[in-house]
Amino acid sequence: MAKQLLFSVTKNDFEMQVFRSGGKGGQNQNKVSSGVRLIHRESGARGEARDSRDQVHNKRNAFLRLLETKEWKNWYRIECARRLGADRNIEKEVEESLKPNNLRIEAIKNNKWIPYMESENVNVS
């Protein structure tokens, strides 16, 4: 099966903030804006780095950290499904799982989990 490009992400999809990182690393970190924060606008995923004294390395590290976030992974999965036309199936699965007969609500009574209907006389504090 041939590979197919579903979508691409460019630097325009991110907001980059630079800042003085302070801390260890000598006087250079206090004078130069070497810390980097990347924010992916659509997913809200953030990656931040201030490990290195040089901004180029911190950009790379911030991007790698952003790729490891839960927000990015969720956005990526949903965007791939949407581009492949599978988003309808995902939405259907979510709707199905949220139907009342598929939800189980429990409460704690005497240090045990019990169905919510049996727990109506339980004090919740």
Domain extent, residue 96, equals 86-125
Is residue 49 one of the residues assigned to a domain? yes
Is residue 6 one of the residues assigned to a domain? no
**How many C-beta neighbours within 10 Å does residue 38 have?**
23
Please give the Cα distance from 47 to 53 (Å, whole number). 17
Number of domains the chain is built from: 2
Mean pLDDT for the chain? 77
Is residue 100 one of the residues assigned to a domain? yes
Of 102, 38, 28, give the one whose Cα is nearest residue 66.
38
The pLDDT tens digits for 17-65 are: 988 876 665 566 566 788 899 999 999 999 999 888 788 888 899 999 9
Q: Which residue has the higher pLDDT, 75 or 117?
A: 75
Give the pLDDT of residue 51: 84
Grade residue 70 by pLDDT with cuts at 50, 70 and 90. very high
Is residue 3 one of the residues assigned to a domain? no
